[in-house]
Amino acid sequence: MSYGIGGAIVVGGQLYQGKNNRAGEFSHMRISSHGRRCFCGRRDCWESYASLNVLITMYQEQTGNAVSSVNDFFALLKRYDRGAVAVLDKYLDHLAMGIQNILLIQDPHYVIIGGRLSLFEEFFLEPLQDKVFTGNIFYDRTDVQIMCSTLKKDASILGASLLPLERVFSLHRIQSRAA
């Protein structure tokens, strides 16, 4: 969760890529019908409602005040700026909607949030969990754990860099057993 939304599906310790290597593109699932255009050309993609760029834009639209970065937004939130509090609440509605869709489609053990957003978990994680687990009959807090990655903003790059290494070492184990 940074200035875009990335995703991955791991099954049995292996990255699931899908037939056309597009599995995990959660950022482009449709979550609304308001017509907000996404950079991909579609409308109402999750990313167009829940990326960090949107958080900054929402604050500027709601308050008329400029904020230059996500750090500045969360500094306002720390000072209990009413506009920032209201914007975060609406932003978390959109974020929760995407996570709810993932839970219904994938039934995962964990949803792990990394990227720049995870640097601010003390501001959003608990209210996000409340929004995800309220108002449904399909799952509750005992079914899936929603957490922030300990790798924070480096989660996606480190996770992606491990994939080729895992393949090399897995291949080495297979060749060693065959020998």
The helix/strand/coil state of 112 is strand
45 alpha carbon, distance to own chain's centre = 13
**For the segment 115-167, what is each residue's pLDDT rounded down to a tens digit?**
888 899 999 999 999 999 988 888 888 899 999 887 655 555 556 566 666 66
The pLDDT tens digits for 49-78 are 888 888 999 999 999 999 989 999 999 999
Q: What average pLDDT is seen over the chain? A: 80
Q: What is the Cβ-side half-sphere exposure of residue 177, based on CA atoms within 13 angstroms? A: 5
Count helices and strands in the chain by DSSP H and E runs: 6, 4
CATH class belonging to 49-173: alpha beta
pTM: 0.76
Q: What backbone phi and psi angles, to 5 degrees, belong to 147?
A: -150, 170
Q: What is the pLDDT of residue 74?
A: 95
CA-wise closest residue to 95 among 144, 132, 67: 132
Query: Around Cβ 124, how many Cβ atoms within 10 Å?
Result: 23
User: Phi and psi dihedrals of 22, rounded to 5?
Assistant: -120, 5
